[in-house]
Amino acid sequence: MVIHVVESGDTLWALANRFGVTVQQIVAANGLSDANTLVIGQALVIPIPQYHTVKQGETVWKIAKQYGTTPEAIAQANQLANVNSIQIGQRLLLPATLRPSKEVNAYLINLGSTGQTMIKQVGNDLTYLSPFSYEVRSDGSLKALNDQQVLEIARSKNDTPLMTITNIGTSGFNSGVAHAVFNDAAVQEVLINNIVNTLSAKGYKGLNIDFEYVPSEDREQYNRFLQRIVDLLHPLGYSVSSALAPKLSSAQKGLLYEAHDYAIHGRLLDFVVLMTYEWGWAGGPPMAISPLNMVKRVVDYAVTVMPRGKIMIGIALYARDWTLPYVKGGPYARTFSPEYAIKLAARHQATIHYDQLSQSPFFSYTDEQGRKHEVWFEDARSIQAKFNLVKDYNLRGVSYWVLPTTFAQVWHVQEDSFNVVKL
């Protein structure tokens, strides 16, 4: 795989001819709905062939640059005594990239037919599937989840299912539910019994705890709850993991952060998911949703207090469209798929730009009512940058929020970067 950024004058036919693939292969790899419409600045995944046939004027250096490899690697793969002595029409074997093995989790919200189809299509690229979610009530009961069919499909793909519990109430994450669970012994006992029964009845292999906006005064009670869960579930053969707010230090203030004790979670649990996204949240000003510079700062802190082999970074698989000027408390930004973002840019003839600091694409446009918009999204380049971070830091893997209905590029980039661990 190579990533090509569209320039003025590019066509799919010309790109297919240049890289020795078909137009249909490029269309499929990028989920393109219109093969005749490309956007300047758009990132395209090109599924490269195994061999390259030398054309007039080509050098090993030029070929290596085209496919993202080195002249030395091509020379070694083809046993070339002299890299300057290649002939027109000669077939060169393109060197395979050595890929590390990493774990991949995906949260799935749509458990109906759409979600079931998604698992059938991409289940081979996952280690874990986490249907979202079993909502905890203040009495320790769990809101029922119709997850049986997606679990059956996941098992057919050898995906390890994780039972995800949350303190989500009718209006989002509920601090009161978390407080009741951590401080009322009777409520906690009911919840733990419900967790064990559900794990067994549904065939889950582990528990993922996503408790957010936990009161800061409940930090130690949360830690004790984790110890109790681990002591109970580990002997039964279940893994235990958690989702953590993206902290930059142990002293970070705020309801989202203070009760999430990185050091304790890293010591007790099998792994953690760092929720490294939502800097560009729907109710805030326009910016990159998951800026690499901020993701890196979170990881830089995390590796000082927990093992690298227990850290999975969260990757957002969506786009946001803000109407300008941004007004605090005003209408929320629209959220949609990265592929729809490309369609929107094409419709308004916008040029896609790439911010080097955040490693994120964005564009602006004016709608039919004359209102200006700013769109930030993820593409093959931004996903690749985060995968490179995982490899550079030797982390456990990645976790997608959330499994998208359409984003073909991500699976090609992942397959080019990692071998997925199957348990």
Catalytically active residues, by annotation: 212
The closest of 298, 317, 318, 294 to 395, measured between CA atoms, is 298
Q: HSE-up of 191 (CA within 13 Å, CB side)?
A: 27
Three-class SS of the chain: CEEEECCCCCCHHHHHHHHCCCHHHHHHHHCCCCCCCCCCCCEEEECCCCEEECCCCCCHHHHHHHCCCCHHHHHHHHCCCCCCCCCCCCEEECCCCCCCEEEEEEEECCCCHHHHHHHHHHHHHCCEEEECCEEECCCCCECCCCCHHHHHHHHHCCCEEEEEEECEECCEECHHHHHHHHHCHHHHHHHHHHHHHHHHHHCCCEEEEECCCCCHHHHHHHHHHHHHHHHHHHHHCCEEEEEECCCCCCCCCCCCCCCCCHHHHHHHCCEEEECCCCCCCCCCCCCCCCCHHHHHHHHHHHCCCCCHHHEEEEEECCEEEEECCCCCCCCCCEEECHHHHHHHHHHCCCCCEEECCCCEEEEEEECCCCCEEEEECCCHHHHHHHHHHHHHCCCCEEEEECCCCCCHHHHHHHHHHCEECCC
Cis peptide before 290 (omega within 30 of 0): no
- Residue 369 CA to chain centroid, in angstroms? 34
Strands 2-5 and 43-46: antiparallel
Cβ proximity of 225 and 182 under 8 Å: yes
Measured CA to CA, the distance from residue 167 to residue 135 in angstroms comes to 6
